[in-house]
Amino acid sequence: MISALAGFHILTGSLALASGFTASFARKGRNLHKISGIVFSVTMLSMALTGSIMAFQIDETATGFIGLLTASLVGSSWLAVRRPVMRLTRPEMGVGLISLLSMIYFFYDAWQNNFSGGGVVTLIFGLIAFAAVSGDVWRLQSPGSPRQRLIRHLWRMLTGLAIAALSFFIGQQDEFPASLQGLPIWFLPPVAAVLILGFWLTKQQLGPRFKDVFRRSARV
């Protein structure tokens, strides 16, 4: 029997994946992108936090911190585009503290496991948390630019989407019907999220040169 909290977690997770991929493909600045982005942010925060609560209840500490890190990534991503302020705001600092605590736990757990087995997983999430914390520290030092704020929004939001897709389609396969477990197709959503992340970051880094580079690569 699924508890009310677990049911809410599954519902919000499903909505987060649907709205997240919709926002990724929708034309930026249009209503579909804005609405799906808001739905994604709200449902991702709900899914990540409820997942953390359930994980800590059954002593799955690493999973609990993964949920907290995911929530901090999505929360800071949403704040990055909600305000025109370039410097790190107090709400972002509060969310960034969660990333810092998560990073400390992940690196400690990886070290405790000799960077093997489950320690490899926590090391990867530790590096993601390190990237988030490094970005926060940099924002404390420099006001940045609108493009840099957009990059901050994109990589954090899409990393959150990739974590959600990986957790649902790969990490929860034991909940799938036996006939559907282990199918290669379940790797498609998380891989797609990573590819989308790479696409948008490359586009933002190259700026106006992106179309020229894309055209030249298409001719090869």
pLDDT in tens, 119-142: 899 999 999 999 999 988 887 777
Distance from C-alpha of 3 to C-alpha of 111, rounded to nearest angstrom: 35
Distance from C-alpha of 213 to C-alpha of 142, rounded to nearest angstrom: 30
Residue 207's pLDDT is 65
Q: Is 114 helix (H, G, I), strand (E, B) or coil?
A: coil
- Alpha carbon separation from 129 to 74, 116, 181 (Å, rounded): 12, 19, 30
Mean pLDDT for all residues in the chain: 85
Report the pLDDT averaged over residues 175-196: 87
Element (H, E) at 192: helix 188-206
pLDDT in tens, 5-33: 888 998 999 999 999 999 988 887 788 98
What range does the domain containing 125 cover?
A: 4-219
> Quick one: tokens of 119?
């320690």
Q: Is residue 104 scored above 60 in pLDDT?
A: yes
Distance from C-alpha of 48 to C-alpha of 56, rounded to nearest angstrom: 12
Q: Which residue is associated with the tokens 């939001």?
A: 157
**Count of the separate structural domains present in the chain:** 1
- The pTM for the full model equals 0.86
